[in-house]
Structure 1
């Protein structure tokens, strides 16, 4: 009998079964045949024939599945969806949707392998996202909105749909002993300092607050300023940049980073390019920067 070829749906089942596991061999879904062998360092070996789409999916997502040790640093992935000319929105802030259906499905898959998905108040206010897993199988992450000044309307999906727990990080003095237990509703955590402050929020401190709650696989989904702050602080292990075949012209840039004078100072992560169908994905690895 000819060997079964692993397709993208079966590959996704393997990814979900690999979450928080290492040093294990995973069977082909629905069989006892060995399909993928994972070692303890993030490497993997495919043991069955697979389609190109399946191989790409495994190469992108298996590195995100490694368990984080109890005493280890959080693992953080960022995401930006942009046009060919590097815009994430028009000048008026319209961004739904720059990326196509395949790019949106990719976002849902990242959510499914993450403990928490983080957005800034601007993105939460403008896009009114749900931040749940709907286009694929997998668990919903805990939703986190950085909202120091209570800018996001209480009527938005994050606070009303009840589909997943939501943490609203607001101004105030942080007291770890007062952290809520994560249930199914909305919880506020006072941790972002002076309510009158206008400066940027320290992304490293946000990761510490989430780690105190046991959330150590963090997906920073947007917007551009928020993702850039984590990147500039050296806190991203990976960054997924999805490029749509679209030219917007004047608009909001994907990255907001300090200027450099010399190209020697540019960030040059290891990269792989993956064709998602509707979009091209740059999978950027900053873990060894």
Structure 2
């Protein structure tokens, strides 16, 4: 499904046509979590320069899409590194909709107590840790299992949030967090927003353990959407890909 930016009424049609990437979000089973991850990058897979500068690789329509993603889920999840580097609000501002619960993965207890995502605006604010530590008033702390000394288990995170009533979960960043969730097959849908830009060096996006043969690569069922201002959205259905892999293995 492609959008055409040179037609009249483009913005109205774009909003309608871009509902495609959200198909299944609202009807996802309430018996298990539904996890979507998103990543914005350049054509050569960079999310920032070597100095960490990233504003803005993706353009306005991609930012609108990110906020629309937030409005479709119950919780938006980021790693503490993203909070320290960018201090994001994690609210819905660019499109109509409600803001989801804001969740920070903080395996090492590094979360600044004055982070903007912890501001009390009536939305649930949650910190995920392996051991309890102090949190600001009104902020929930949920304990999850460790994956390693520096990381928490993606599956434990998803299960804990689901048990807390958060059924649809957005893993927004950063790239390391998204990569860990992908590595451990804890993502149902992946939205990759690609800007027509070649940086040539810098911080890579998705990084997974090395494979020996291409046959072992992830091959998600993917739909492509052209955004009005030039960025391209790849909507990857990892749950469907996993089902097909299992069927092939059983054949």
Question: What is the TM-score when the length of structure 2 is the normalising length?
Answer: 0.84
Q: CA deviation at 1:57?
A: 1.3
| Residue 182 of structure 2 is aligned to residue 221 of structure 1 | no
Aligned residues: 228
Matches for 1:1-289 after TM superposition, within 5 Å: 9=12, 51=13, 53-54=14-15, 56-69=17-30, 72-160=31-119, 162=121, 164-172=123-131, 185-192=138-145, 198-278=149-229, 279-288=231-240, 289=242
CA distance in 1, matches of 2:117, 2:239: 31
CA distance in 1, matches of 2:10, 2:27: 22
Q: CA deviation at 1:128?
A: 0.8
SS in 2 for 1:287: helix
Contact 1:118 1:221 in 2 (8 A): yes
State the match for 1:26 in structure 2.
none
State the match for 2:5 in structure 1.
none
Which runs of no fewer than 5 residues in structure 2 stay unpaired? 1-8, 243-251
SS in 2 for 1:107: helix
- Cα gap change, 1:237/1:219 in structure 2, threshold over 3 Å: closer, same or farther? same
Deviations 1:189-214 (CA, angstroms, capped at 9, x unpaired): 233559xx634321000011101101
Contact 1:164 1:185 in 2 (8 A): no
CA distance in 2, matches of 1:163, 1:249: 42
SS in 1 for 2:112: coil
Contact 2:130 2:152 in 1 (8 A): no
CA distance in 2, matches of 1:223, 1:212: 24
Contact 2:107 2:150 in 1 (8 A): no
**Aligned-residue CA RMSD in angstroms?**
2.2
Q: CA deviation at 1:131?
A: 0.8
Which runs of no fewer than 5 residues in structure 1 stay unpaired? 1-5, 10-50, 174-183
Q: CA deviation at 1:67?
A: 3.9
The higher-RCO structure (CA 8 Å, 6+ apart) is 2
Question: What is the TM-score when the length of structure 1 is the normalising length?
Answer: 0.73
Contact 1:132 1:163 in 2 (8 A): no
Q: CA deviation at 1:229?
A: 1.1
